[in-house]
Amino acid sequence: MLKKVLRDQLESERSVDSAPLMTLGIRFGFICSQIETKFSVDFSGLQTLSEKAASCIVNPAVGDYVACLCDGNKSFIIAVLERNKPESSLDMRSTCSIDLSAPELNLAARNKINLTSQQGNLTFQELNLGVVNFDAHLEKAEARIGMLSYIGKSVKTVLTEVLTRAGTSLRIIDGADYQRSKDIHVEAENLLSIKGKFTSIAAKDDVKIDGSRVHLG
């Protein structure tokens, strides 16, 4: 079955290639089929293989009404004039990199913007980001920041493990500071100081104070 399909496709290519070559100029027609990177275009009953021109940004599809330019040897699709399915997405493809340069570039989508790539780089001298709802899913994240300032109303963090290492740590809490855990271990290499106008230590079972010298009062 596969051999028959390939044979029919080869016969179709030969029949298209054997069609008389168009004269120089621009012709208009409908795309009948696509054979690899070439398109069979019907010009009022005359089918000719045409290639997509490098300047044709929109990728042609079967049924599209296109404009072709013939140089005497080859036929090139230079523009897609009418889509066979206007509601379908606009397909723009390129085998090489695309560079856009302008003093200012604006991208606007009415509903949604999707960016998909294996790798990506964003480089800005200054970036302002305004988002109503932000949802991020990261397998691994690493950030190097010279200075970070955060001003917000509320922060909620749920983590399996937290490791923080800093040269100096300072926390200023205007209201109450609550900490609840199963076990708490505090270790100071030199000095551990706890000060308060009122200090209360309550234990359900035992309170143990151990040191070379213990001063009370």
The tens digit of pLDDT for each residue in 200-214 reads 888 989 989 888 888
- Confirm whether 62 is domain-assigned: yes
Q: CA 152 from chain center: how many Å?
A: 27
pLDDT in tens, the chain (217 residues): 544 544 455 455 444 444 445 578 899 999 999 988 899 999 988 888 999 998 888 889 999 999 999 988 899 999 999 998 887 777 777 777 888 888 998 988 888 888 888 888 889 999 898 889 989 888 898 888 899 888 888 888 998 999 999 899 999 999 999 988 999 999 999 998 888 889 888 898 998 988 888 888 7
Q: How many CB atoms are located within 10 Å of the residue 91 CB?
A: 12
Residue pair 26/53 in contact (Cβ under 8 Å)? The answer is no
- Confirm whether 8 is domain-assigned: yes
Q: CA 40 from chain center: how many Å?
A: 35
- Confirm whether 48 is domain-assigned: yes
pLDDT of residue 29: 94
- Amino acid identity of 137? H
Residue pair 50/68 in contact (Cβ under 8 Å)? The answer is yes
* Mode of pairing for the β-strands spanning 46-52 and 38-43: antiparallel
pLDDT of residue 20: 47
pLDDT of residue 96: 79
Torsion of CA 6, 11, 15, 18, to 10 degrees: 100
Residue pair 49/75 in contact (Cβ under 8 Å)? The answer is yes
pLDDT of residue 3: 42
Assign residue 41 the CATH number of its domain.
Answer: 2.40.50.140
Total count of domains within the chain: 1
- Confirm whether 181 is domain-assigned: no
Query: pTM of the prediction?
Result: 0.52
- Amino acid identity of 42? D
Torsion of CA 107, 108, 114, 120, to 10 degrees: 20
pLDDT of residue 13: 47
Beta bridge partners of 92: 58
- Parent domain of 67: 2-82
- Confirm whether 47 is domain-assigned: yes
pLDDT of residue 93: 76
How far apart, in whole angstroms, are the C-alpha atoms of residue 74 and residue 71?
6
- Confirm whether 215 is domain-assigned: no
Q: Which residues touch 37 (CB under 8 Å, ≥6 apart)?
A: 51, 52
Q: CA 141 from chain center: how many Å?
A: 15
- Confirm whether 42 is domain-assigned: yes
